[in-house]
């Protein structure tokens, strides 16, 4: 049985693959396996190239992002420090405003008790 031999070129490959229509299935499957392996290798090479390109593009962007993040964190820390100082100042004033009259009332009560005890 005589078959027709055709040359097939895959669009991503420079190699021509002869395919004989009368060849045994194992020979055809071996040739298709070679084509598949070459295609997988090509995809892996393209993937590695794109990863390298993406890494080169992302490194400067990450550096800028990191610098902005550090700047914003520094601003946030200073803002929090200001607010804590302000809160501490208000709390100190409120504590004084509460304890001063209380202390005066305790002193007045003590003076009243002493005056009552001295009358007898």
pLDDT tens profile 4-25: 555 555 566 666 666 555 555 6
Query: Which pair of tokens denotes residue 3?
Result: 């078959």
- Give the residue with greater pLDDT, 66 vs 23: 66
Query: Which pair of tokens denotes residue 118?
Result: 């001295």
pLDDT for the residue numbered 1? 43
> Residues 32, 13: contact at Cβ < 8 Å?
no
* Confidence grade of residue 73 (pLDDT, cut at 50, 70, 90): very high
Mean pLDDT value of segment 59-87: 94
**0.85 exceeded by the pTM?**
no
> Residues 7, 15: contact at Cβ < 8 Å?
no
Mean pLDDT value of segment 61-85: 94
pLDDT for the residue numbered 33? 75
Distance separating alpha carbons of residues 94 and 84, to the nearest angstrom: 15
3-state SS record for the chain: CCCCEEEEECCCCCCEEEEECCCCHHHHHHHHHHHHHHHHHHHHHHHHHHHHHHHHHHHHHHHHHHHHHHHHHHHHHHHHHHHHHHHHHHHHHHHHHHHHHHHHHHHHHHHHHHHHHHHC
Mean pLDDT value of segment 105-115: 94
Alpha-carbon dihedral sign for residues 91, 94, 99, 104:
positive
């Amino acid at each position: 049985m005589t078959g027709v031999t055709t040359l097939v070129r895959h669009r991503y490959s420079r190699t021509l693959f002869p395919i004989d229509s009368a060849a045994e299935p194992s020979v055809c499957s071996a040739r298709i396996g070679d084509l598949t392996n070459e295609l997988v290798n090509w995809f892996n090479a393209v993937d590695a190239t794109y990863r390298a390109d993406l890494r080169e593009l992302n490194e400067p962007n990450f550096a800028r992002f990191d610098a902005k993040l550090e700047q914003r964190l520094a601003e946030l820390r200073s803002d929090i420090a200001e607010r804590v100082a302000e809160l501490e100042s208000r709390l100190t004033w409120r504590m004084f405003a509460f304890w001063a009259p209380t202390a005066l009332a305790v002193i007045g009560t003590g003076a009243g008790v002493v005056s009552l005890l001295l009358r007898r």
